[in-house]
């Protein structure tokens, strides 16, 4: 019963965070941005939630060197892809998987010739930083750690991190035994926050998420063979401004790549 009450609480909290995310998008339409007020050019970047820290720092560096405003909107890749499809004023779309980029491309929302991969990632299991417990990727070990609570993860129906998580659990024979203990979240950063706050004892997130949240630590790493390769495609949208291509190219620059690695992402092979 306690687990069910917690799950309801987490769903309500997720709904509130979704409303906040919508407000962020509306704010971007009004021109809220990073950067100096005197900048004349502006681009809007829609990026997967797991890239929040890295893209924010990259955008700040780009603004300093080009005097171009960068408006940032972060959410689940599926949410962003649908918004781009609906005509949201994004110049750049960065997805956490190829599927949502293909979705946007098939609907004529991005320029297919501009698609490029900018980073890779790993999938990990995290717990509270205060816990010294290591967790084996086995049913009994995970259930023992969860107890009456839940395992946080991004929603596998709509979010790349959730799809990767489901693939990994299925690949290890854990999906069915753990299905009733899962707490799907609107994006991977919400799942990370649930563990950081102590709402859930374990969560499936990216290595880059764990790297920037001091209140959690990695307790297990999912084998790369248990799920599809985690790669981040970026592209210029169909109705992008003329400045968009320059920012897309900057994402592959050595300075931007250094920031991505510092935030826990890995370079592409």
| Res. 79: pLDDT tops 80 | yes
pLDDT value, residue 16: 42
Q: How confident is the model at residue 133 (pLDDT cuts 50, 70, 90)?
A: confident
Has residue 267 been placed in a domain?
no
Examine the domain organization and report whether 105 and 235 are in the same domain.
Answer: yes
Examine the domain organization and report whether 95 and 132 are in the same domain.
Answer: no
| Tokens 């630590």 belong to residue | 217
Examine the domain organization and report whether 107 and 61 are in the same domain.
Answer: yes
Query: Domain range spanning residue 97?
Result: 14-120+231-262
Strand-pairing partners, residue 102, are none
Has residue 155 been placed in a domain?
yes
As a whole number of angstroms, the distance between CA 168 and CA 223 comes to: 8
pLDDT value, residue 29: 44
Q: How confident is the model at residue 131 (pLDDT cuts 50, 70, 90)?
A: confident
pLDDT value, residue 21: 46
Report how many domains make up the chain: 2
Average the pLDDT over 226-240 and give the result. Answer: 97
Examine the domain organization and report whether 100 and 73 are in the same domain.
Answer: yes
pTM for this predicted structure = 0.82
| Res. 1: pLDDT tops 80 | no
Examine the domain organization and report whether 113 and 103 are in the same domain.
Answer: yes
As a whole number of angstroms, the distance between CA 96 and CA 162 comes to: 11
Average the pLDDT over 252-268 and give the result. Answer: 95
Examine the domain organization and report whether 108 and 238 are in the same domain.
Answer: yes
Mean residue pLDDT across the chain: 89
Examine the domain organization and report whether 149 and 215 are in the same domain.
Answer: yes
Examine the domain organization and report whether 171 and 202 are in the same domain.
Answer: yes
| Res. 39: pLDDT tops 70 | no
> Coil, strand or helix: which one is 148?
coil
Q: What is the CATH number of the domain that holds 148?
A: 3.40.190.10
Examine the domain organization and report whether 195 and 212 are in the same domain.
Answer: yes
Instruction: Please give the structure tokens belonging to residue 116.
Output: 């490029």
Asked if 41 and 69 count as a contact pair (C-beta separation under 8 A), the reply is: yes
Has residue 45 been placed in a domain?
yes
Average the pLDDT over 206-233 and give the result. Answer: 97
């Amino acid at each position: 019963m306690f687990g069910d009450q917690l799950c309801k609480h987490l769903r309500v909290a997720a709904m509130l965070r979704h409303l906040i995310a919508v407000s962020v998008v509306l704010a971007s339409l009004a021109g809220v941005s990073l950067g100096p007020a005197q900048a004349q050019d502006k681009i809007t970047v829609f990026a997967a939630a797991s890239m929040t820290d890295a893209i924010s720092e990259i955008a700040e560096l780009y603004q300093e060197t080009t005097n171009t405003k960068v408006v940032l909107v972060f959410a689940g890749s599926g949410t962003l892809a649908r918004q781009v499809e609906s005509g949201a004023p994004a110049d750049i779309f960065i997805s956490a998987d190829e599927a949502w980029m293909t979705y946007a491309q098939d609907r004529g929302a991005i320029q297919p010739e501009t698609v490029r991969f900018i980073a890779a990632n790993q999938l990990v299991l995290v717990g509270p930083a205060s816990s010294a417990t290591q967790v084996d990727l086995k049913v009994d070990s995970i259930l023992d750690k969860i107890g009456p609570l839940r395992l946080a993860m991004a929603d596998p129906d709509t979010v790349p991190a959730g799809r990767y998580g489901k693939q990994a659990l299925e690949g290890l024979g854990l999906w069915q035994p753990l299905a009733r203990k899962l707490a799907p979240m609107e994006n991977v950063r919400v799942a990370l926050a649930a563990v950081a706050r102590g709402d859930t004892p374990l969560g499936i997130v990216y290595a880059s998420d764990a790297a920037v949240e001091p209140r959690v630590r990695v307790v297990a790493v999912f084998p790369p063979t248990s799920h599809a390769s985690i790669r981040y495609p970026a592209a210029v949208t169909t109705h992008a401004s003329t400045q968009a291509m320059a920012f897309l190219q900057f994402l592959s620059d050595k300075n931007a790549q250094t920031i991505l690695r510092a935030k826990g992402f890995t370079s592409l092979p």
